[in-house]
Amino acid sequence: MVNLVDLTTVSEYAGRVEYLCENNRCTLRIKNLTESDSAEYRFRLKTNQPDVRFAASAGVTLSVTDPDLLVKVMETMVHQSNSRAKLQCHSRCLLPHDPSYIWYKNGQNIRGETFTHSVYFDSADSFSCALKGHENFPSPSHCVDGQTCNRVIYNNRSICAFKGSSVDISCMYSNEYVQSKFWFRPERSHQGQNPSQPEDLSEDSQYASRVQILETWRGRSTLRISDLRDSDSAQYLFKFKTPSFEWRSDLPGTTLTVTDPDLKVKVQVHSYSWSKLQCYTSCRLPHGSSYIWYENGLKIAKKTLSSYSVYFGFASSYSCAVRGHEDFPSPPVCVRGQTCNRVIYTERSICAPKGSSLDISCTYSSFEDVVQSKFWFSPERSHQGQNPSQPEDLSEDSQYAGRVQILETERGRSTLRISDLRDSDSAQYLFKFKTPSFEWRRRLPGTTLTVTALQVQVITSTVHQAYTYAELKCRSSCSPAGVSYVWFKNNEKIIKEERPLYKDQFYPGDIISCALQGRENYSSPLLYALKFPVVSVSPSDEIMEGSSVTLTCSSDANPAANYTWYKTDGNQKLHPLAKERQLVFSSILVSDSGEYNCTAENELGKRTSDMISVDVKYSPKPPSVSASPSAEIEEGSSVTLTCSSDANPAADYTWYKENQTLFQGAEGSYHVTSISSEDSGIYYCKSRNQFGEINSTSLFVDVLYAPKPPSVSVSPSAEIEEGSSVTLTCSSDANPAANYTWYKEDEDSPKASGQIFTITDFRAEHSGSYSCGAKNKIGRQNSTFHQIVVTGAWTSRAAGITTAVVLAVILLSIFLLIRKKKSAKRSSEPGEPHSKQDLNQQLFRSQAYTLSYCRSKTELQSPPEELLYASVQFSKNQSDPLSSNIEDSVVYAEVQFNSAAPRSQMSATEDSTALYSTINKTRTQHESAAHHFY
């Protein structure tokens, strides 16, 4: 059996239900429909007879929903230049008679007020419609042609969420070439100053660290807001832009309502003692929410669903709450009648200004008529918190002495009045009563009081160079109505100003406050017009590279200032660095050196500090070295070696050549006015300041010079025999290494090239004067001529002559000897020897001479190592070889041949190693020779 209840007696319909009955026709009118009104409604008729009642077996089912609108394309006409379509705004819900409509194209409002609309369209266009008066519930945007038009479809048109919770607001959008996309709310577009320019919520300071943009798949965007506040109640829209299109924001988005859980218990009595209870709210709860149920103020274990079936007692009351929001339970309800045990607080939370008075009220009822005791208490003050299970009557608490009154203006209603409110009065307050057989438990939350101070709020401000003109408001989150205010400027009371609003000019350093009239001792915190900020640096002494440095911007301001740090570039252009009071360099870099300043800004204006210089000191960086000229360096030229190193303070430099100090000074340049070959070598420099020193890499200076006068050497250096191998070597000091060419006197063409000239089979025709030339790209030098004679050729001629002379002498001696013998036989003649002794002596001398010649002949025919040779050298003065290649001195050399050679060969060998020497030039020897015979 279903228990029918008169709707006029049900609290959730209070003030919204009206019965209209006339001529046996009754109408139920319900105003301000909510989703919770969706139900079956029946009519019951009572007659004058007590027990005669008539009830309908079936009622009317009401579904409360958002306007469920759809755009339908009735017909399209496609032409070459344009296309036209007839659209219809359709609803599955029965609409009022002849409503007016609103049409949208690509999110922008267009003309049209009927449920059908004819439009020209493009394939990228989308259309939507809405009922006038219900603009917040338009139809989803619809593509006339295909499914890839420009459109945004919100998942929910309205969402309700609890304070402190999180909420997801989602939409679908379509376009292939999206350049930018973001969520915004019109009221927050640049803080309401320019609503036509939406501001990305992810960059809005009010939502800092509370907003996430999620895109789980392409074409779906979700705005997640956490730690919801009352100020988050607003409409949220999505916007996207392509190279040729921008989605307009005339179409409503999703409306978010942030509230406390407005819970109620709906009772459905199914029998005399059994009932089904439903916990519901006008706010759409997150899916899977968990519930808590209470009976007579005590929690019922293991009941977590939104519905609860119970065998009830007539004295019991029931309440529900959403887990996580236990401070906002529903009011307790009686399952049957209105006289069960319950306490209903007028407000769950309340706040009041410091120094004011406040009333906290509740209604209570008892199934029994007799109430033995009742009082107000605060759990935090129950015996000073030592025994929370034993509540203490606030009227007996010393902290509230003289400030608390308990008022009961009517039966079943109690009021706690606290005067001269203090910060310590912020707490939860509960009411407790006791009957002979029942005690109201205190598990259900009571009323939470928050005591706040007054605040001076800046409503509008205009910043001028010297002052700020502003409109101020004295407010509290819980200011009582109908009170007068007092304003103070620079500690002086402003006469004739009793309103909460105050306009004036404010200069840097001005101090403003307000208070409730009669409560001047409880004035608001002071509001400061911004002073010019001051910048400090820590550490204050020298700043080393890599150290930790903190720049602090300070300005006496209330409301607290927002700070921004700037650094100037070389063009004095400011670049914002950070929006913090302190700019911290955990490990400062050289590039951080520069000029810094900060700005302090609040609702009363903006002020800029003076510039401060940050000079980062550091040891020298690795020096770079260079030589000028950077091309080849020739002997005699001027050369500058430069050493440069980045350092702060500037470094001193020292130049070294192979560890020998050359130069020291602040200038990094070392000059050589006329460089010589001895200056070639390895150079490096050292850069040094008080923070460190470092050496450069090595620099090799290579001085180029022309060949020095060449020298010639002959191998073998002794007599040269015919057929032997002769090697001539030319040496000259030169850089780069010289190339060599060999010449023979009286011959035009060179004999060979290369440092070494070799004649493998020397013959008589090779005898002569030789010289060499040394050449590089800087210059050229020639050696003197060097005379080379074959010893074997001269000896053969001498041996032939000697042999002939010796034979002739021998023959002549024999002839003379025979002749003398004949003369001796004839007679002794005048002129003959006087004695035999004289004859013997003459014979001895003749034989000795012959022997001498024979001996000479024998010696001439003996091996060359047994011969003795002499050479005569005639020399002339030699001119300077640097200025002339003509030989002025002649060197004669005698070369011996011991045997004839079949043929001679000449070769020149190029030595791979550069040798440097001086060469003498020789001439042919024919002037004189002396031969001594023994």
Pick from 570, 589, 617: which residue ends a domain?
617
Q: What is the mean pLDDT of the chain?
A: 79
**Half-sphere exposure of 782 toward its Cβ, with a 13 Å CA cutoff?**
20
Instruction: Give the Å distances, CA to CA, from 26 to 22, 47, 97.
Output: 6, 15, 21
DSSP string of 736-780? Answer: SPPEEEEEETT-SS-SEESSEEEESS--GGG-EEEEEEEE-SS-E
**Contacts of residue 863, Cβ cutoff 8 Å, sequence gap at least 6:** 898
Q: For position 824, what pLDDT does the model report?
A: 63
Q: For position 799, what pLDDT does the model report?
A: 58
pLDDT band of residue 850 (cuts 50, 70, 90) is: very low
Which range of 317-331, 451-465, 491-505 scores highest in mean pLDDT? It is 317-331
Residues 894 and 772 in one domain: yes
Q: For position 405, what pLDDT does the model report?
A: 93
Element (H, E) at 847: helix 836-861
Kindly state the average pLDDT of the residues 691-705: 93
| CA–CA dist 350, 328 (Å, integer) | 13
Residues 233 and 355 in one domain: no
Percent of the chain with pLDDT over 70: 82
What does the buried/exposed string (b/e) look like for 829-857 if buried means 16 or more CB atoms within 10 Å of the residue's CB? eeeeeeeeeeeeeeeeebeeebeebeebb
| CA–CA dist 830, 84 (Å, integer) | 175
Q: For position 687, what pLDDT does the model report?
A: 95
Q: For position 773, what pLDDT does the model report?
A: 92
| CA–CA dist 472, 460 (Å, integer) | 7
Domain that holds residue 579: 534-617
Q: For position 649, what pLDDT does the model report?
A: 92
Nearest to 329 by CA among 286, 297, 351, 352: 297
Q: For position 820, what pLDDT does the model report?
A: 80
Nearest to 102 by CA among 254, 255, 251: 251
Residues 579 and 498 in one domain: no
Residues 466 and 590 in one domain: no
Nearest to 161 by CA among 349, 328, 333: 328
Instruction: Spell out where 270-368 has E strands.
Output: 274-281, 291-295, 298-300, 307-311, 317-322, 333-334, 342-345, 349-353, 358-365
Q: For position 57, what pLDDT does the model report?
A: 66
Kindly state the average pLDDT of the residues 374-393: 75
| CA–CA dist 732, 711 (Å, integer) | 7
| CA–CA dist 893, 872 (Å, integer) | 8
| CA–CA dist 659, 681 (Å, integer) | 11
| CA–CA dist 886, 883 (Å, integer) | 9
Instruction: For residue range 104-150, list pLDDT tens digits in order.
Output: 988 888 877 887 888 888 888 889 998 888 888 888 888 988 778 88
pLDDT band of residue 879 (cuts 50, 70, 90) is: very low
pLDDT band of residue 859 (cuts 50, 70, 90) is: very low
In a domain, 931, yes or no: no
The number of folded domains in the chain is 9
Pick from 306, 340, 374: which residue ends a domain?
340
Q: For position 121, what pLDDT does the model report?
A: 86
Q: For position 275, what pLDDT does the model report?
A: 84
Residues 416 and 351 in one domain: yes
In a domain, 636, yes or no: yes
Q: For position 803, what pLDDT does the model report?
A: 75
Residues 513 and 576 in one domain: no
Q: For position 742, what pLDDT does the model report?
A: 92
Ranges 151-165, 391-405, 790-804: which has the least confidence: 790-804
In a domain, 605, yes or no: yes
Kindly state the average pLDDT of the residues 196-223: 86
Pick from 467, 502, 528: which residue ends a domain?
528
pLDDT of residue 851 exceeding 80, the answer is: no
β-pair type (158-162, 254-259): parallel
Residues 254 and 171 in one domain: yes
In a domain, 139, yes or no: no
Residues 520 and 629 in one domain: no
pLDDT of residue 316 exceeding 60, the answer is: yes
Kindly state the average pLDDT of the residues 265-291: 79
In a domain, 122, yes or no: no
Cis peptide before 508 (omega within 30 of 0): no
Q: For position 159, what pLDDT does the model report?
A: 86
Percent of the chain with pLDDT over 90: 21
| CA–CA dist 563, 554 (Å, integer) | 9
Number of helices (H), then strands (E), in the chain: 2, 72
Q: For position 822, what pLDDT does the model report?
A: 74
Q: CATH number, domain at 780? A: 2.60.40.10
pLDDT of residue 697 exceeding 90, the answer is: yes
Residues 15 and 53 in one domain: yes
Q: For position 212, what pLDDT does the model report?
A: 92
Whether residue 265 contacts residue 12, with contact meaning beta carbons closer than 8 Å, is answered with no
Ranges 61-70, 574-583, 842-851, 904-913: which has the least confidence: 842-851
Q: For position 856, what pLDDT does the model report?
A: 38
Q: For position 221, what pLDDT does the model report?
A: 93
pLDDT of residue 165 exceeding 70, the answer is: yes
Q: For position 929, what pLDDT does the model report?
A: 34
**Dihedral sign (CA 571, 573, 579, 582):** positive
| CA–CA dist 439, 391 (Å, integer) | 13
Which range of 115-124, 575-584, 700-709 scores highest in mean pLDDT? It is 700-709
Residues 353 and 445 in one domain: yes
DSSP string of 866-930? Answer: G--------------TTT--S---------B-SS--S----EEE--SS----B--------S---
Ranges 279-293, 668-682, 730-744, 752-766: which has the least confidence: 279-293
Count CB-CB contacts under 10 A for residue 1: 7
Q: Could you tell me the end-to-end alpha-carbon distance of the chain, in angstroms, rounded to an integer? A: 173
Kindly state the average pLDDT of the residues 825-845: 46
Nearest to 928 by CA among 849, 862, 857, 870: 870
Kindly state the average pLDDT of the residues 530-558: 88
pLDDT of residue 280 exceeding 70, the answer is: yes
Instruction: For residue range 28-68, list pLDDT tens digits in order.
Output: 999 888 777 888 888 887 777 666 566 666 788 888 877 77
Q: For position 789, what pLDDT does the model report?
A: 72
| CA–CA dist 436, 296 (Å, integer) | 16
Q: For position 45, what pLDDT does the model report?
A: 77
Ranges 311-315, 348-352, 485-489, 708-712: which has the least confidence: 311-315
| CA–CA dist 366, 344 (Å, integer) | 12
* 3-state secondary structure (DSSP) of residue 9: helix
Compare 212 and 188 and report the one with higher pLDDT: 212
CA 124 to chain centre: 40
Q: For position 710, what pLDDT does the model report?
A: 93
Kindly state the average pLDDT of the residues 5-10: 79
Q: For position 10, what pLDDT does the model report?
A: 77
Residues 275 and 314 in one domain: yes
Q: For position 903, what pLDDT does the model report?
A: 40
In a domain, 655, yes or no: yes
Instruction: For residue range 507-527, list pLDDT tens digits in order.
Output: 888 889 998 888 888 888 888
Q: For position 795, what pLDDT does the model report?
A: 53
Q: For position 645, what pLDDT does the model report?
A: 93
Q: Which residue has the tokens 């032409």?
A: 79
Residues 404 and 467 in one domain: no
pTM: 0.48
What does the buried/exposed string (b/e) look like for 630-666 if buried means 16 or more CB atoms within 10 Å of the residue's CB? eeebbbeeebebbbbbebbeebbbbbbbeeeeebeee
Bridge partners, residue 599, by sequence: 564, 608
pLDDT band of residue 922 (cuts 50, 70, 90) is: very low
Instruction: For residue range 177-207, list pLDDT tens digits in order.
Output: 888 899 998 877 655 455 567 888 888 878 8
Q: For position 56, what pLDDT does the model report?
A: 64
Structure tokens at 521: 């001792």
Instruction: For residue range 417-474, list pLDDT tens digits in order.
Output: 999 888 899 999 999 998 888 888 777 888 999 888 888 888 888 888 788 888 888 8
In a domain, 315, yes or no: yes
Ranges 11-15, 208-212, 284-288, 722-726: which has the least confidence: 284-288
In a domain, 770, yes or no: yes
Instruction: For residue range 406-419, list pLDDT tens digits in order.
Output: 999 888 899 999 99
Whether residue 282 contacts residue 16, with contact meaning beta carbons closer than 8 Å, is answered with no
Kindly state the average pLDDT of the residues 683-708: 93
What does the buried/exposed string (b/e) look like for 47-56 if buried means 16 or more CB atoms within 10 Å of the residue's CB? eeeeeeeeee
Question: SS3 breakdown of the chain: % helix, strand, coil, rounded to 5?
Answer: 10, 40, 45
Tell me which amino acid residue 671 is: H
**Half-sphere exposure of 124 toward its Cβ, with a 13 Å CA cutoff?**
9
pLDDT band of residue 481 (cuts 50, 70, 90) is: low
